[in-house]
Every structure is written in C-alpha cells, then in structure tokens.
Amino acid sequence: MSTTMTNGYFLEARGLTKYYPIQNDLLSRIMGRTAMLKAVDGINFYIKRGETLGLVGESGCGKSTTGRLVARLLEPTAGSAYLQGRNIFTLRSPEVHKLRKTVQFVFQDPYSSLNPRKTIMQIISRPLEVHGLASNFLQKRHRVIELLTMVGLGAEHVDRYPHEFSGGQRQRIAIARALAVSPDLVIADEPVSALDVSIQAQILNLFRQLQEELHLTYLFIAHDLSVVRHISDRVAVMYVGKIAETGTVEQIFERPMHPYTQALLAAVPLPNPVAPPPRLTLSGEVISPVNPPGGCRLYGRCPLAGPECAEIDPELRDRGGEHFVACHKV
C-alpha cells in the first residue's frame, strides 16, 4: 500500500456512513418508503501512527460498526477511509487481502472468538497459512510459541484447546492471533468488557506493552470511560451514529465541551468526591437511529438546545489544539 498519508494521518475517515434498510417496519408500511437505520452517519476522525484513539459511547451508538468499516468487514453506504493514503474502499481483491494483513481485529468475547475444536497451535497458525508467512510446520510452531510468549503464555499451552483457559488467557490468545501477521493497525472492540476488573488491568497493560514493543496503532472501542482513559492518547465520543467530540485524554476528561460528553462524565462515580465541577445532565430518552430527525441528535435532551439545534446538524469544529466539538452552543 502507498506510504503517502493523507494530511500526515495513518488512518483518516471522511464522511464514513453505514445505513441499514428496514423493510418490514410499521413506518415503511404507513409512509410507503423504506426506513433506514443510520448506524454510522457521516463521521470524520483520524488516528496518527503509533497512537491509540479511544472510541467511546453508549451501546448502539455505532462504535462497533465503525470498527468493522475500518477493517473493511463491512462496506460503507458512503464516505471513505484512508489507510496510509489509500482509500480502503477502492481496493480490489488482491489489495484487500494485503489489507487483512495490515489491519487486524480483537473481538469482545474471548469465549466465542476462538474455535473450540481447534488447538491453540491451529488457531494462531491459521493467519500464517493464509498469508504465506510460514513454509513448514516447524516454522509455524516456532512462530506460534514466540507469539504466545509475547502475550504472557508459553510453549506448554500450544497444544491445548480454548476450554482449558480462563477468559483472560483466551483474550491473550486472541491478541496473539491478531499479531501473527505483524499488523500495523489493531482494532480492539470492547476487548476487556467480558473480563473481571483485575484481569482487565492486566490485558490493558499488555496492549500498552505490545504497542511500545511493536510500534502498533490502535483503534480501541469501549463504553467504559475508565478503560478509555487508561489506554488512549486521544478520544472520540460517539452519540447515535455521530461523533460529538474528539480530543486528547486531558481535553476530554478535564475540559469536556460537548453537553453529551459532560453528561457521560457526570455519570461516572468518583472515589473521593470533594467538589466536582458542575456538569450538564440530560433528560429524556436516546432517540432511535431509525430515521432520526434532522438537526442535532441530542436535541430534546440537551438543556442548552436552541431553535437552530432542531434544524441544523452541527459540524465538528476545531476549538483549538485539535479539540473538535460538534455543538452550536459551545
């Protein structure tokens, strides 16, 4: 793939959109037109080489769909995503095969992401076979043991089956499988949400260690703000298919500007609350992503909302220091 990067970014999404038609809903029958579930609706973001972008938001806001689009596990309705300067959605089949080597996925559930009928050797060596990275059994076995060691396991685990491991160990195996082809970008979709809190910290530290050792770039998807704060360099906050705010960890957690970001942070319990800064709270229910109304997606819940919020969808604007906010009122 080309090494010429758009605006110097390793990955850049422009107007990335994914709609799903809903054929048999009541609105379609009444209005005589197909309703659209707008899972991802024209979002823009970027990731610099070697950094971690944390993508955070409530369940159903479009985070996982965004990750699958960037990995080209889904085709977009509109928009583009540039990886090292190349639009991944214009790549043809041989180039998509190369993309699979450049971009790897770590899924949420370590219990279902590993084939229970395969040994760890078979699971981790499969990417090596697909991409022609090992010519014989001994090379594959040596590489698998190397990968297991890298994630804190060892040679004694190579011939075991997934059911013989704990959840944390299984996620380490899933990470080893993702690293088998030496990717540049790893997309981690809620990789610690199914684990105990004590194990979460170990896996997060492993991600950081591997990033430093292997010079990896991460798109880290999560709903837990403490996880995002621990692992990320920058954060993008999603709400009903849109990105509300992006910035550094310090900007998002210490100086949040968007009402939704403020409300998210206000909902996090503090261990030793003294005098937390006042933050906005929201009322009402989250709107449906199925044919959402025009204007700001937070209109109707936001105490700052004005008439323009109901009519005009706010664009992400740089408020200084690459701190982008999509809000008419801040």
Query: pLDDT per residue over 202-226, tens digit each?
Result: 999 999 999 999 999 999 999 999 9
Confidence of residue 275 (pLDDT cuts 50, 70, 90): low
Angle, in degrees to the nearest 10, between helices 120-130 and 137-150? 110
Q: What's the domain range around 316?
A: 236-269+277-330
Q: Is residue 322 part of a domain?
A: yes
200 sits in which H/E element: helix 197-214
Percent with pLDDT over 70 in the chain? 92
| Domains: count for the chain | 1
For residue 189, the SS3 value is strand
Residue from 311, 319, 248, 313 nearest 41 by CA: 313
Residue 243 covered by a domain: yes
Q: Whole-number mean pLDDT of the chain?
A: 91
* Residue 213 maps to a domain: no
Domain-located, residue 190? no
330 domain-assigned: yes
Residue 169 lies in a domain: no
Give residue 283's pLDDT. 84
Bridge partner residues of 106 (DSSP): 188
* 206 falls within a domain: no
- Counting Cα atoms < 13 Å in the Cβ hemisphere of 216 gives 30
Comparing 64-68, 195-199, 207-211, the range with the smallest average pLDDT is 195-199
pLDDT at 268 over 90: no
pLDDT digits (tens, 9 = 90+) for 223-251: 999 999 999 999 999 999 999 999 999 99
Q: Tell me the average pLDDT across 20-40.
A: 76
The answer to the question of residue 58 being in a domain is: no
120-130 helix and 167-179 helix, angle to the nearest 10 degrees: 20
Cβ-based neighbour number of residue 131 at 10 Å: 15
pLDDT over 70 (residue 313) = yes
Q: What is the DSSP letter of 274?
A: S
